[in-house]
């Protein structure tokens, strides 16, 4: 009796690839391994994806779709401290251990740009730019000034994103959650004070 054909689910394939890329990195993920992880033969793989870069871009898109949910949630919060603490909470303080240990997929990918094609590099930059736009709008919203300084907003948004990615790197390196919480609280205390002067 011939078995039933495998059911193909594109989202599941990309989710599995995301988990693998996130754990192993782009350069550390061979095409043979990826084909096995997503449960596709090589011929099936190439009938769906142009190449490994194409699958990576789709995995990065999926990651950013998930991050957008959290980033957009910030705009619904009325308390600046809660708003700016939220991304730290969902990615470091309250995140599952395996997520903390993997770090930020976007930041990890940015460090691997040497291995990526030009369209993947551009996608990574666009992801950071989109995050910065939302953070900048939030800074302007919570500013006490009637006419916030665009350069000051830009600088503060860069500071926030660099602190978030830096602390996620420390989480990946194995820093204790209690130490990360202290660092987050210290940063936010300075950040909120600075926010009021923008």
Express each pLDDT in 69-89 by its tens digit: 888 888 889 999 999 999 999
User: What pTM value is reported for the model?
Assistant: 0.86
Mutual orientation of helices 80-88 and 118-142 as an angle, nearest 10°? Answer: 160
Express each pLDDT in 33-51 by its tens digit: 999 999 888 888 899 999 9
Report the pLDDT averaged over residues 83-112.
92
Listed by start position, the domains of the chain span: 60-195
pLDDT-derived band at 4 (thresholds 50, 70, 90) equals very low
Report the pLDDT averaged over residues 103-122.
91
Angle at 112 between CA 172 and CA 62, to 5 degrees: 75
């Amino acid at each position: 009796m011939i078995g039933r054909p495998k059911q193909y689910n594109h989202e599941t394939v990309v989710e599995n690839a995301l988990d693998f890329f996130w754990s192993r990195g782009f350069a550390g993920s061979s095409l043979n391994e990826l084909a096995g992880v997503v449960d596709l033969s090589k011929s099936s793989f190439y009938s769906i994806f142009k190449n490994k870069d194409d699958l990576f871009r789709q995995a990065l898109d999926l990651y950013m779709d998930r991050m957008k949910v959290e980033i957009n949630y910030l705009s619904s919060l009325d308390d600046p401290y809660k708003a700016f603490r939220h991304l730290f909470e969902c990615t470091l303080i309250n995140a599952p251990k395996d997520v903390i240990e993997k770090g930020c997929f976007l930041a990890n990918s940015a460090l691997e740009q040497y291995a990526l094609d030009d369209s993947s590099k551009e996608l990574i930059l666009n992801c950071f730019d989109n995050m910065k736009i939302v953070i900048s709008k939030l800074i302007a919203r919570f500013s006490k000034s009637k006419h916030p300084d665009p350069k000051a907003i830009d600088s503060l948004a860069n500071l926030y994103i660099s602190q978030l990615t830096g602390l996620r790197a420390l989480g990946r390196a194995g820093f204790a959650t209690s130490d990360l919480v202290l660092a987050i609280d210290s940063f936010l205390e300075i950040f909120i004070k600075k926010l009021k002067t923008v």
